[in-house]
Structure 1
Amino acid sequence: MAANHLYLIDGSGYIFRAYHRLPPLTNRHGQPAGAVYGFTTMLWKLVEELNAADGPTHLAVILDASSHTFRNDMYDQYKAHRPPPPEDLVPQFPLIRTATRAFSLPCIEEEGLEADDIIACYTTAALAEGWRVTIVSSDKDLMQLIDAEDRVDLFDTMNNRRLGREHVREKFGVEPEQLGDVLALMGDSVDNVPGVPGVGPKTASELIKTYGTLEAVLAAAPEIKKPKLSQSLIDHADNARLSRELVRLVCDRALPEPLEALAMKGIPEEPLREFLTEQGFRSLLGKLGGVEAAAAMPTRVEDEPPFVHKEYETVTTEADLDRWIAAGFAAGVVAVDTETDALDCISAGLVGVSLAHASGKACYIPIAHGAAGGDLLSEKPAQLALDLVMAKLKPLLEDPAVLKIGQNLKYDLIMFRRHGVDIAPYDDTMLLSYDLDAGLGGHGMDDLAKRHLDHACIEFKAVCGTGKAQISFDQVPLDRATEYAAEDADVTLRLWKRLKPRLTREAASRVYELVDRPLVPVVAEMERAGILVDRAELHKLSTEFGEAIIKLEARVHEAAGGPFPIGSPKQLGEVLFDRLGLTGGRKGKSGVYSTDVTELERLAAEGIEVARLVLDWRQLTKLKSTYTDALQEEINTTTGRVHTCFSLAVAQTGRLSSTDPNLQNIPIRTEEGRRIREAFVAPPGHVLLSADYSQIELRLAAHMADVPQLREAFAAGTDIHNLTAEELFGEVNRDTRGKAKTINFAILYGISSWGLAGRLGVDRGEAQAIIDRYFDRFPGVKNYIAATINEVREKGFVTTLFGRKTHLPGIKGKTVGERQSAERQAINAPIQGTCADIIKRAMVRMPAALMEAGLSGTRMLLQVHDELVFEVPDAEVETAKATIRAVMANAAEPHVSLSVPLGVEIGTGLSWGAAH
């Protein structure tokens, strides 16, 4: 007879996984129930899968009875830094216990003990009886229980893997029996186990491998050759011994329930059915077989109908369209999406519109479908006329009592505006996701559907094909087009139900309501306006750049000792480090020398002419291909303008990004970049006006880091780089001011001494001395950096003054490099993100301000980093300057009050270049 096999489920881990996995759902009584639903689903899945495979003979769910245990009596700071559980999770704890018992499974907890201790007691008792034990958890503390005979393992359900002795060796470098000593040395910031300062996992592992036990390490501390480590072990020996007791699992307490009481006896249906009915978990009840009871329940967010594409409706008659519009009015909320025959919303034709007013209730209204697959001999399908559809949809889409939901609504807003329809009010699920989860994944529909709905959307290529065989959407058969298009509206509505309730709970309402959501129509109008470009000037520049590139190639070949393809990194590396024998070359995994910009700049700084010439060649070829050549192709044949696309949810810090074409990366300080800007021109009777925030990041740093000298300097209009040069070097000249400027910005990006040394051309020691001197003169900056790093380590994200979150999961990365990179991003993200929020606020308020000032001819065209570009009639220039300056200078108010003024520099000219 096979040995008994006991499974012990770490219920606390399950609870928090369930809570964070699902949105804030409610049961049919309106009580918070997201964690309950997730816990129930996960537990059911686990029990089913275990019974179908190597199932347990005995099983129990182990929970924490309370937050206070004997460890708190031993050390009053134990877990002192842990935040209390979320308010909406607390009332779910009793329901989770009820859920466990509804499965007729033992639910065990004990006052004064943690769940880990109870698991340890049951494991010890089971082993004494000759049983096998599997602990359903991946908690490192529980890995101490893995025994020498491999009768105990852990089951990591997140990654569907078993963890045994080999895993402990790989992860910690020691045997499970030694793990407690390693944990004691390294401590645990989450549980506030002190450990020994300066001893991390790697050092702790090496010490235990060398000396065997914690006590042996402490005894040998005076002889350890590393002075800092030796002294730390001596000074903190008592903390190490205390930590060893804190991480030691209790194994010898009396069992709350005897082992035999944990025997698996199946899951009787009635208690479970009663619980599921009481909670209103329709899909789980249906899974149990209670179809009739499930059907009688009101549908809630946590239990929506499945996606059934064949049930989506194709609307081809006026009566059916009226019925769907009436349903939208009745629901008070409707998801809307457009389908077009091209990606460019300025020139694309509208092919159809999809609507959804409830989950699973969606339709597609075809407008301009031709014969399927472009078959000239086939007839066009029956469909409604564009003007009729727009006339009927207009009252619904413009009704202030009906909320419209879109995913990347800016695109659809532009399409509808071209046909006389202004969508309002609205929510955008892409922006909801962006303001809630920036840094945690993509915000496109496919990503969101997979992440929040566990649903794979129909791919565009599945309906339109790829490559030469690809067709435009107006050639897709209506049945297939309906499935694809209606699904978009259905998914959008379901996403909104999950994301919108999180705004308040997760403190994202302010940035969404005040910054990002109202920006959508403003940016849409900027894209529609476009900017006039002089094609002849671009052609002239392309010719000149082409001639200059040929000359540069000849000089590169001469300096390199012969011709070679300059655009090939492999051959360039061979020329530099093999043919010319230059030193310092480094090869990657592929065996190819690195010739990236950092490497070439290093060589150029050493006086290597060929490196400098290649840098010039790369810059010029990029400008020619990316701008002077490509922009000519981007000019809209109807408007004569270039219409860039501003992406609202790409940059992690909140900045807008520009694509198709990208107008934000034209070099600012080079002559070539200035000449490219000269090709962006004003129409006759107008000028282009450039309004640029002056040193906004440094101003915000002065405010956010509370640096009195910098605040006073900005208030007085003092040159901030001169001030820094005086503080750091004792004198102001061209050299010290240049260094001060580099330092001012580098510090805000969390630069290391190595990085600063490279920027300034000094050794690392001098660079570190400069950093130390900077922090000594401006201690507020040092305090800000320390506080920000602590915040991101604790929360996993940092926030701007408007509450925008930037999540940085790399702070928990496995490598030092990942964690340091996240720290550098964290230092700058609140400052750069607040800059983004402020210029967005200025853009949001600009249209109304221009209208109020009577500036009917002034249009905002571009946003490039900290700059806004306007097209202004000659007669409106002076009024426009004053109005735009006032809006930008006061953009943060009244929601954020700054202790420094926001400086705005304004220039005008017949071209963008001249306006700078």
Structure 2
Amino acid sequence: MTTQFGKGCHLHLIDGSAFIFRAYHALPPLTRKSDGLPIGAVSGFCNMLQRYIDDHAGPDAPTHVAVIFDKGSHTFRNDLYPEYKANREAMPEDLRPQMPLTREATKAFNIACKEIEGFEADDIIATLACQARDAGGRVTIISSDKDLMQLVGGGVEMLDAMKNKRIDVEGVEEKFGVGPDRVVDVQALAGDSVDNVPGAPGIGIKTAALLINEFGDLETLLDRAPEITQPKRRETLIEKRAQIELSKKLVTLDCNTPLDFTLDDLEVKDPEPETLLGFLAEMEFRTLSKRIADALGAEPPVIPDTSPAGANPPEADAPKWPSIDPEKYERVSDMAALQVWIDRINARGYVAVDTETTSLDEMQAELVGISLAVEPGQACYIPLTHKEGEGAGDLFATDTLAAAQLGTDEVLDALKPVFADASVLKIGQNMKYDAKIFARHGVEVTPIDDTMLMSYALNAGIHNHGMDALSERYLSHDPIPIKSLLGSGKSAITFDRVPIDEAVKYAAEDADITLRLWHIFKPQLHREKVTTVYETLERPLVPVLAQMEMNGVKVDRETLSRMSNAFAQKMAGLEAEIHELAGRTFNVGSPKQLGEILFDEMGLEGGKKGKTGAYATGADVLEDLATEHELPARVLDWRQLSKLKSTYTDALQDHINPETGRVHTSYMQAGASTGRLASTDPNLQNIPVRSEEGRRIREAFVAEPGNVLVSLDYSQIELRILAHVAGIDALKQAFREGQDIHAMTASEMFDVPLDEMTPEVRRKAKAINFGVIYGISGFGLARNLRIPRGEAQGFIDRYFERFPGIKTYMDDTVSFAKEHGFVQTLFGRKIHTPEIAAKGPRAGFAKRAAINAPIQGTAADVIRRAMIRMPDAIKGQPCRMLLQVHDELIFEVQEGAQDKLIATARDIMQGAADPAVHLDVPLIVDAGQGANWAEAH
């Protein structure tokens, strides 16, 4: 029965657009498997609505609620000022079809869904808030939009749902420097670049607040503007009065919007299971359907499985386990209890293991505790070095160990035989991290299984492989977030400051989840025919990478420091050049100022303004302009130096480990869907190799005294694989005969005899050879060669004419991807292509990725196979493998032993594809050596 809205009622008003855009930008693109419809924003929106419902049950639950949307873009404000919101970028193509679906989703949840033509959502929210306040009720506006802050007070508050932060009168004063009743005055002066509200030029929020606090309100300020002593400010307020008064009209919300419904129509209603679950099934939201069905006590809908192979286990295989309940996990505080767990592990033959530490840097992290799980629902945590008190902000925090903890050494001594036992499988999520933590304590962990890598072998290209994402997707469970324990920002604490009772729930849950994921993924490997990929390319690489990361590479701090100074000087020279070309000085590092120079002052074409009103000056824009003008080319050079300086010559110095004097990067095995390794903290894979400055940075990577660095690098491996998979006889023959492949291509394309080849013609052919592998467009090649687009497209067309097998390979690969939902490397690695049926700009990207993936992925698999075989091959030689950078391996070897190492490593690398794959072209490995990486490469 409907009750009349009045005192005691609590109205929640949800800013629908904020939810949608937050969902769209926070999540990767997602399409409905059955027809390719974009649904990523709808998925995020539904999850946010469900979380909202879960979070607002209980004594302070709303009695009335509505989600308010914008309808159309033209409102009365555009009649007042046609340029209002003119700077806004067009809605992304893949978001447009999702907008009506978010309305359907709101109605499916049985929540009032309101929008009115000609009025913004903010005006509807303002009208409802005023009506509810006047009726004696409370109002919570669920949004962080500053424009709504003028409504706060007198029973109206705001809630930033993402930060779970309430915004009251004090919060508004903190934001604007004035109370809610004067917010519109401050906004009228400060303007708004996002909405294109002009305001008073040169006056920002802080100055506006000072003026309003001094004069009381905007009208008084404008009337008394002649009294202001600062000439520029006085002039602005007098001359721009009409513009400022118009701005106030634009930012003032209309509390008298004509509504075609009443507050009583917004009464909270329970969702109708059939309607809601029907909508979720139509969207094909499996996990959310199951979670909501459980919450409603209903049967989850049956959704036909149209997802790519490997994405989810068949329903029949879904195990029936006890629910995840962190309250039931055990704290192990004495050796007798630990022995019980060790006996269970030995009896079971496998155990999920996880470590808790003080840092993500495995080379410096301190071990805080260990969690174990042998059965779903049965997990424990062994705290080792938790401290008394909770750290930041806790006056009672000390470095004294908390009570009832076992000693690290005695625990590791007890676990060491189990961790080294070949008959007991140790299961982890990103096991390389934990193995390195244990290795630093002298404990070897073998054999292992890794759920992250199992997911990667099964689902590369479908989703990421972090534990939280896997748990949510495959177990319909959101793990305890680490931020809830550690906090964030400056007040964050380390895990040793987390109270042990809370740590038990979090840490043991990780082990429990990992074990459950292992039970799901292990049988899928065989079913999806990726067991060989996991067993030969993923699992055996873990200890190899762990050892390389622990080896690290010596970096000379003085060399880096000298380079930083040299780069700074070169940047200064480029700045002078740029200023001369511009005709005046400006901040080269400011995209805004650069845009004004290029498009306003120089009048170059192609200027496009973003949300802030500033011109876009990203690399793609500058690369286009650089084909016609010198200034953008010089800015690109300046930016590259600036990046090299900040990212490498400056930052690398901070990455030198104080104990080892070496830099220890971390390799991400499951980063790129193609099998390529990624490198982080620091990233050593993106040092530009083609520029002189990039090559110089390699000079800082040095060998220890008495040693040299040796580099072995596959020569043009991706072109060789392309020649094999596309069956291009001319390329295959050239590789077999050891010809200069780029010169041969140039000769074929441009009808230039090899003995008349010029470096410039060869350079063009090289750019096309490598560009075609990555599906380069005429635009892209024009940028690379800095030539007009028409000429570049002509090169590509001619290339396909001369090598028709490449076009056939591309077309066949795209067709295969559309039919099967994945492409494959020669070694059986599946790279899923869920976007291949997408429409619009994403379609081109998805096709290029599908074409490139088998080539790049096969090359990645080849070097993985070489790395896995390398430790046994070089055992006994005075050397160690340090780095992998795409197609290159770097070793540190004792002087005098480098020739033997080169011979051994070259044999392994050149024969790495055998016996699994026989290539029609030989793999050739170039070797070099020197005191530093630059000399060796």
TM-score range, shorter chain: 0.5 to 0.7
After TM superposition, list the pairs within 5 Å mapping 1:249-268 onto structure 2. Answer: none
Deviation at 1:156, TM superposition (A): 9.3
Deviation at 1:379, TM superposition (A): 6.0
Residue 732 of structure 2 aligns with which residue? 711
**1:828 partner letter:** N
After TM superposition, list the pairs within 5 Å mapping 1:129-168 onto structure 2. Answer: none
Deviation at 1:288, TM superposition (A): 10
Residue 814 of structure 2 aligns with which residue? 789
After TM superposition, list the pairs within 5 Å mapping 1:322-337 onto structure 2. Answer: 322-337=339-354
Match of 1:579 among 597, 601, 608: 601
Deviation at 1:560, TM superposition (A): 2.1
Q: Distance in 1 between matches of 2:762 and 2:909?
A: 28
Deviation at 1:438, TM superposition (A): 1.1
Mark the CA change 1:525 to 1:504 in structure 2 (over 3 Å): closer, same or farther. Answer: same
**1:528 partner letter:** M
- The answer to whether the aligner puts 1:771 opposite 2:807 as a matched pair is no
Q: Distance in 1 between matches of 2:679 and 2:685?
A: 6
Match of 1:318 among 335, 344, 355: 335
Mark the CA change 1:446 to 1:576 in structure 2 (over 3 Å): closer, same or farther. Answer: same
**1:860 partner letter:** M
Look up the SS of the partner of 2:493 in the other structure. coil
Deviation at 1:598, TM superposition (A): 2.3
**2:664 partner letter:** H
Mark the CA change 1:770 to 1:552 in structure 2 (over 3 Å): closer, same or farther. Answer: closer
Q: Distance in 2 between matches of 1:754 and 1:761?
A: 10
Residue 777 of structure 2 aligns with which residue? 752
Instruction: Indicate conservation of the 8 Å contact 2:623/2:783, yes or no.
Output: no
Deviations 1:525-553 (A, max 9, x none): 01101000111111111122223323333
Unmatched runs of 5 consecutive residues or more in structure 1: 1-15, 18-152, 163-263, 265-282, 290-298
Deviation at 1:811, TM superposition (A): 1.2
After TM superposition, list the pairs within 5 Å mapping 1:292-311 onto structure 2. Answer: 301-311=318-328
After TM superposition, list the pairs within 5 Å mapping 1:139-538 onto structure 2. Answer: 301-374=318-391, 375-376=396-397, 380-538=402-560
Q: Distance in 2 between matches of 1:349 and 1:761?
A: 51
Residue 166 of structure 1 aligns with which residue? none
Provide the alpha-carbon RMSD of the alignment.
2.5
Q: Distance in 2 between matches of 1:654 and 1:465?
A: 34
- The answer to whether the aligner puts 1:843 opposite 2:860 as a matched pair is no
Residue 694 of structure 1 aligns with which residue? 715
Deviation at 1:742, TM superposition (A): 1.5
How many residue pairs get aligned? The number is 631
Residue 849 of structure 2 aligns with which residue? 825
Q: Distance in 2 between matches of 1:714 and 1:160?
A: 62
Deviation at 1:505, TM superposition (A): 1.1
Deviation at 1:763, TM superposition (A): 5.7
Q: Distance in 1 between matches of 2:597 and 2:795?
A: 38
Deviating above 6 A after TM superposition, structure 1's stretches of 4 or more consecutive aligned residues are: 155-159, 286-289
Deviations 1:737-793 (A, max 9, x none): 222111211222222344445545666665555434333332221221111010111
Deviations 1:856-910 (A, max 9, x none): x211101111111100011311110100100100111111111111010000000
Deviations 1:379-421 (A, max 9, x none): 6222111111111111111111111110000000101111122
Q: Distance in 1 between matches of 2:429 and 2:418?
A: 18
Deviations 1:16-75 (A, max 9, x none): 99xxxxxxxxxxxxxxxxxxxxxxxxxxxxxxxxxxxxxxxxxxxxxxxxxxxxxxxxxx
Look up the SS of the partner of 1:875 in the other structure. coil
Instruction: Indicate conservation of the 8 Å contact 1:657/1:664, yes or no.
Output: yes
Instruction: Indicate conservation of the 8 Å contact 1:691/1:867, yes or no.
Output: yes
Instruction: Indicate conservation of the 8 Å contact 2:386/2:401, yes or no.
Output: no
**2:367 partner letter:** L
Deviation at 1:714, TM superposition (A): 0.8
Deviations 1:656-684 (A, max 9, x none): 11111111111112221122110110001
Q: Distance in 1 between matches of 2:107 and 2:748?
A: 54
Look up the SS of the partner of 2:617 in the other structure. coil
Instruction: Indicate conservation of the 8 Å contact 2:627/2:782, yes or no.
Output: no
Look up the SS of the partner of 1:302 in the other structure. coil
Q: Distance in 1 between matches of 2:672 and 2:436?
A: 22
Deviations 1:89-130 (A, max 9, x none): xxxxxxxxxxxxxxxxxxxxxxxxxxxxxxxxxxxxxxxxxx
Mark the CA change 1:765 to 1:470 in structure 2 (over 3 Å): closer, same or farther. Answer: closer
Q: Distance in 2 between matches of 1:691 and 1:823?
A: 32
Look up the SS of the partner of 2:587 in the other structure. coil
Residue 696 of structure 2 aligns with which residue? 675
Q: Distance in 1 between matches of 2:384 and 2:703?
A: 37
Q: Distance in 2 between matches of 1:425 and 1:408?
A: 14
Deviation at 1:795, TM superposition (A): 1.6
Match of 2:830 among 791, 796, 805: 805
Residue 871 of structure 1 aligns with which residue? 892
**2:874 partner letter:** L
Mark the CA change 1:341 to 1:758 in structure 2 (over 3 Å): closer, same or farther. Answer: closer
520-529 or 397-406: bigger deviation = 397-406
Q: Distance in 1 between matches of 2:728 and 2:709?
A: 37
420-429 or 761-770: bigger deviation = 761-770
Deviations 1:264-301 (A, max 9, x none): 9xxxxxxxxxxxxxxxxxx99x9899xxxxxxxxx985
760-769 or 859-868: bigger deviation = 760-769
Instruction: Indicate conservation of the 8 Å contact 1:756/1:767, yes or no.
Output: yes
Residue 74 of structure 2 aligns with which residue? none
- Structure with larger RCO (C-alpha < 8 A, sep 6+): 2
Residue 619 of structure 2 aligns with which residue? 597
**2:459 partner letter:** D
Deviations 1:196-230 (A, max 9, x none): xxxxxxxxxxxxxxxxxxxxxxxxxxxxxxxxxxx
Instruction: Indicate conservation of the 8 Å contact 1:689/1:872, yes or no.
Output: yes
Mark the CA change 1:358 to 1:158 in structure 2 (over 3 Å): closer, same or farther. Answer: farther
Match of 2:751 among 730, 748, 759: 730
Deviations 1:599-646 (A, max 9, x none): 2223333233x3222222211111111111111111111100001111
Instruction: Indicate conservation of the 8 Å contact 2:883/2:891, yes or no.
Output: yes
Q: Give the TM-score normalised by structure 1.
A: 0.66
Look up the SS of the partner of 2:701 in the other structure. coil
Instruction: Indicate conservation of the 8 Å contact 2:627/2:787, yes or no.
Output: no
Instruction: Indicate conservation of the 8 Å contact 2:353/2:427, yes or no.
Output: yes
**2:343 partner letter:** A
Residue 882 of structure 1 aligns with which residue? 903
Q: Distance in 2 between matches of 1:435 and 1:160?
A: 37
Mark the CA change 1:888 to 1:156 in structure 2 (over 3 Å): closer, same or farther. Answer: farther
Q: Distance in 2 between matches of 1:634 and 1:764?
A: 42
Deviations 1:419-452 (A, max 9, x none): 1221111110111111111111111111111111
Look up the SS of the partner of 1:649 in the other structure. coil
Instruction: Indicate conservation of the 8 Å contact 1:301/1:497, yes or no.
Output: no
Instruction: Indicate conservation of the 8 Å contact 1:449/1:456, yes or no.
Output: yes
Mark the CA change 1:812 to 1:157 in structure 2 (over 3 Å): closer, same or farther. Answer: farther
Q: Distance in 1 between matches of 2:360 and 2:107?
A: 39
Residue 858 of structure 1 aligns with which residue? 879
Q: Distance in 2 between matches of 1:779 and 1:914?
A: 40
**1:606 partner letter:** E
**1:329 partner letter:** N
**1:431 partner letter:** L
- The answer to whether the aligner puts 1:628 opposite 2:653 as a matched pair is no
Residue 908 of structure 1 aligns with which residue? 929
